[in-house]
């Protein structure tokens, strides 16, 4: 209940701040955007106990990213982005030894945002559609320590893919912008399986904070 109250108060404060800001001419401006969120395939803090296994812990973290955008028009922005779509750390301890594995999937994308113009130019709330194409790089490192010795394996693979999404930008003041976005990542299969997957298709949901600079 306390968390709900805090969230409600935060949303009300954001709405109030946004209502006091009038939209500026965005053409020629640029922005640096930090995003944090989660991927729909994540499995947080799973603990397994099975025959022969003393303990097993896996952790799939949320997504994060950095995006640089430039507004070529008031309603069109081009962007380049890099981030971590998926990361996981898994450790299993059994009577025969210890197994550990780390996996990360990194998207590098070029794309475009198109602002829908549902709200007036004077509004600080700006919904948009976005699309991007690029490379998804997956890295896997695994190790097995047992009575017979130590075994390690590392592999890095890449594949082509894209992202489509929708979101809303909220101007907080002249330099800061808050964003909410929902997107879907799709990619062709990796040449080899990474962990237990051929690809990491799935939805992604995030919140971002941006710093605006340049332009008039």
pLDDT tens per residue across span 21-38:
445 688 899 999 999 998
Question: Residue 57: pLDDT above 70?
Answer: no
pLDDT at 43: 55
Q: CA-CA distance, 32 to 16, in Å (whole number)? A: 24
Taking a C-beta distance cutoff of 8 angstroms, is the pair 22, 46 a contact?
no
Taking a C-beta distance cutoff of 8 angstroms, is the pair 55, 93 a contact?
yes
Task: Catalogue all structural domains in the chain, each as residue range(s) with its CATH number.
Answer: 2-214 (2.40.160.20)
- pTM (2 decimals)? 0.78
**Residues linked to residue 48 through DSSP beta bridges, in sequence order:** 56
Question: Residue 46: pLDDT above 70?
Answer: no
pLDDT at 194: 86
Q: Which of 14-23, 42-51, 85-94, 203-212 has the lowest mean pLDDT?
A: 14-23
What pLDDT digit, counting tens, does each position of 124-168 carry? Answer: 889 999 999 999 999 988 877 776 767 777 889 999 999 999 999
Taking alpha carbons only, the member of 200, 189, 195, 13 closest to residue 106 is 200
Tokens at 25, concatenated: 């001419």
- 3-state SS of 179-202 is EEEEEEEEECCCCCCECCECCCCE
pLDDT at 20: 45
Q: CA-CA distance, 171 to 202, in Å (whole number)? A: 29
């Amino acid at each position: 209940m306390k968390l709900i109250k805090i969230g409600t108060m935060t949303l009300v404060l954001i709405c109030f701040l946004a209502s006091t800001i009038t939209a500026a001419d965005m053409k020629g401006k640029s922005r640096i955007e930090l995003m944090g969120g989660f991927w729909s395939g994540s499995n947080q803090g799973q603990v397994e106990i099975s025959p022969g296994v003393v303990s097993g812990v896996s952790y799939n973290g949320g997504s994060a990213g950095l995006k640089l955008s430039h507004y070529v028009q008031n309603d069109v922005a081009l962007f380049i982005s890099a981030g971590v779509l998926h990361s996981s750390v898994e450790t299993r301890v059994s009577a025969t030894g210890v197994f550990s594995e780390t996996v990360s999937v990194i998207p590098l994308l070029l794309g475009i945002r198109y602002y829908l113009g549902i709200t007036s130019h004077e509004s600080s709330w700006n919904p948009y559609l976005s699309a991007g194409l690029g490379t998804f790089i997956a890295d896997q490192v695994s190790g097995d320590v047992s009575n017979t010795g130590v075994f390690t394996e590392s592999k890095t693979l890449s594949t082509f893919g894209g992202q489509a999404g929708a979101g809303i930008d909220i101007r907080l003041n002249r330099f800061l912008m808050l964003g909410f976005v929902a997107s879907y990542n799709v990619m062709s299969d990796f040449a080899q399986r990474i962990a237990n997957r051929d690809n990491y298709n799935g939805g992604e949901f995030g919140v971002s904070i941006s710093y605006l600079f340049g332009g008039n």
